[in-house]
Amino acid sequence: MKKDFIAVSDYSPSELQTMLDLAVKLKQELKDGGNQPILKNKTMAMIFQKPSLRTRVSFDMAMRQLGGDALYLSPNEIGLGKRESIADVARVVSGYVDIIMARVFEHDHVLKLAQWADIPVINGLSDYNHPCQAMADALTILENFGTLKDINVTFVGDGNNVAVSLMFICTKLGAHFTQTGPEGYDMPQEAIQIAQKFADESGSTIKFTRDVHEAVKNSHVIYTDTWTSMGQEEEAKKREAVFPPYQVNESLVNEADKDAIVMHCLPAHRGQEITDAVADGSHSRLFPQAHNRLHAQKAIVATLLG
Ligand code: CP
Ligand code: NVA
């Protein structure tokens, strides 16, 4: 049966660890002079309903560096579910390429693509989650701390798609996960219940608090993301009124562990969820984290097509 990569929660801790090990290996191989063409003649269709820098460029380069190729399909081009039904797009594209990566609004759209495609489908972000980001995040934490086990990861801000995938990967791999944000922007209950099970299995913990200071105390990782995600633009003003106490600034970072790292999936809204001083400061891992998308995604694609 074909394998998809739709959610971190679909994979076991050992499967995730194996993919991360492969990402480490492929990253080293690239540094040592270049990757082996393990995806020779393999092609990817990249379907986008939303804008992207990192996802688009890193998947395209991942395919090329492994000997394959990728085709970018913009929101206007295929009109997923508008010009043509998702089921029809999935079946047509399955005859042209070897793997699909899709960035969608409704999570159900990527599930539908996976249901109808004969080839693997990778979720490149939906309103519910962002599993490829989580793999790059785990790789970044591993590189900094050597493990995820018993690392304290605190997500400061909106309980959004990125927070959900981060919570899944943390609880799968034994990191303690805390989220803090204003009332009305909590993480989905259903995701919390799923993650609680993973936490019980790995021996990690999940915690939620409105108190940002309590949340970051003893944190090894402070993670933040935009207050207003793609598709929520009309709520921006309302959100900008309640999120400022949850800004990741120097004084907040100083309340965490002294060796804490700061992460952000990017794009950053400097002066809102994160200050320039933090984004460009010594605790920041923003750019190595963004670069790790390339290596993590190579491992995902190689695993699905292996
Ligand atoms: N972090 C991330 O997914 O960035 P893009 O929206 O630029 O792809
Ligand atoms: N939460 C953000 C992530 C962007 C990569 C969004 O969905 O817009």
**Phi, psi values for residue 121, rounded to 5°:** -120, 130
Output the six-digit token pair for 203: 């021996």
- For residues 33-51, give the mean pLDDT: 97
Q: Catalytic site residue 133?
A: yes
Quote the CA–CA distance of 199 and 65 in Å, as a whole number.
Answer: 36
Banded pLDDT at 55 (limits 50, 70, 90): very high
Report which protein residue has its CA nearest ligand 1's atom 2.
Answer: 54
Whole-Å CA distances, 265 to 52, 205, 214, 234: 12, 23, 23, 22
Q: Give the pairing of strands 152-156 and 221-224.
A: parallel
Q: Report the percent of the chain where pLDDT is more than 90.
A: 96
* 239 Cα to the center of ligand 1, angstroms: 21
Q: Could you tell me the domains of the chain?
A: 8-130+294-305 (3.40.50.1370), 133-289 (3.40.50.1370)
Residue 39 has pLDDT above 90, yes or no: yes
Mean pLDDT of the chain: 98
Of the listed ligands, the closest to the CA of 134 is 1
Tally of residues, the chain: 306
Q: Catalytic site residue 130?
A: yes
Residue 236 pLDDT: 98
Helix axes 131-145, 286-305, angle to 10 degrees: 120
Cβ–Cβ under 8 Å, residues 297 and 138? no
Cβ of 55 closer than 6 Å to ligand 1, yes or no, is: yes
Report which protein residue has its CA nearest ligand 1's atom 1.
Answer: 265
- Which residues, other chains included, contact 244 with Cβ-Cβ below 8 Å and sequence gap of 6+? 272
- For residues 241-252, give the mean pLDDT: 98
pLDDT one-digit tens code per residue, 119-141: 999 999 999 999 999 999 999 99
* 293 Cα to the center of ligand 1, angstroms: 9
Residue 117 has pLDDT above 90, yes or no: yes
Report which protein residue has its CA nearest ligand 1's atom 3.
Answer: 55
The three-class DSSP label of residue 233 is helix
* 202 Cα to the center of ligand 1, angstroms: 29
Residue (of 134, 145, 59) closest to 102 by Cα position: 59
Report the atom number in ligand 1 closest to the C-alpha of 56.
8
Q: Catalytic site residue 225?
A: yes
Q: Which of 54, 60, 265, 297 is catalytic?
A: 265
pLDDT one-digit tens code per residue, 86-113: 999 999 999 999 999 999 999 999 999 9
Q: Catalytic site residue 107?
A: no
Quote the CA–CA distance of 74 and 145 in Å, as a whole number.
Answer: 38
Q: Which of 54, 109, 130, 285 is catalytic?
A: 130
Report the atom number in ligand 1 closest to the C-alpha of 58.
8
Residue 284 has pLDDT above 90, yes or no: yes
Element spanning 123, H or E: strand 121-123
The amino acid present at 299, given as its one-letter code, is A
Banded pLDDT at 81 (limits 50, 70, 90): confident
Banded pLDDT at 77 (limits 50, 70, 90): confident
Report the atom number in ligand 2 closest to the C-alpha of 161.
1
Cβ of 230 closer than 6 Å to ligand 2, yes or no, is: yes
Report which protein residue has its CA nearest ligand 2's atom 7.
Answer: 229
Of the listed ligands, the closest to the CA of 264 is 1
The three-class DSSP label of residue 31 is helix
Cα 164 to chain centroid, rounded: 9
Helix axes 161-173, 13-31, angle to 10 degrees: 100
Residue to probe by mutation, ligand 1, list 140, 293, 294, 297, most atoms within 8 Å of CB: 293
Of the listed ligands, the closest to the CA of 291 is 1
- Which residues, other chains included, contact 57 with Cβ-Cβ below 8 Å and sequence gap of 6+? none
Cβ–Cβ under 8 Å, residues 141 and 166? no
Helices (H), the chain: 13-31, 54-65, 75-78, 86-93, 107-116, 131-145, 161-173, 189-202, 212-216, 236-242, 250-253, 276-279, 286-305
Residue 59 has pLDDT above 90, yes or no: yes
- For residues 146-156, give the mean pLDDT: 98
Residue 268 pLDDT: 98
Residue (of 220, 223, 217) closest to 273 by Cα position: 223
Residue 200 has pLDDT above 90, yes or no: yes
User: Which of 69-78, 187-196, 250-259 is predicted least confidently?
Assistant: 69-78
pLDDT higher at 293 or 81 = 293
Residue 215 pLDDT: 98
The three-class DSSP label of residue 144 is helix
Cβ of 260 closer than 6 Å to ligand 1, yes or no, is: no
pTM (two decimals): 0.98
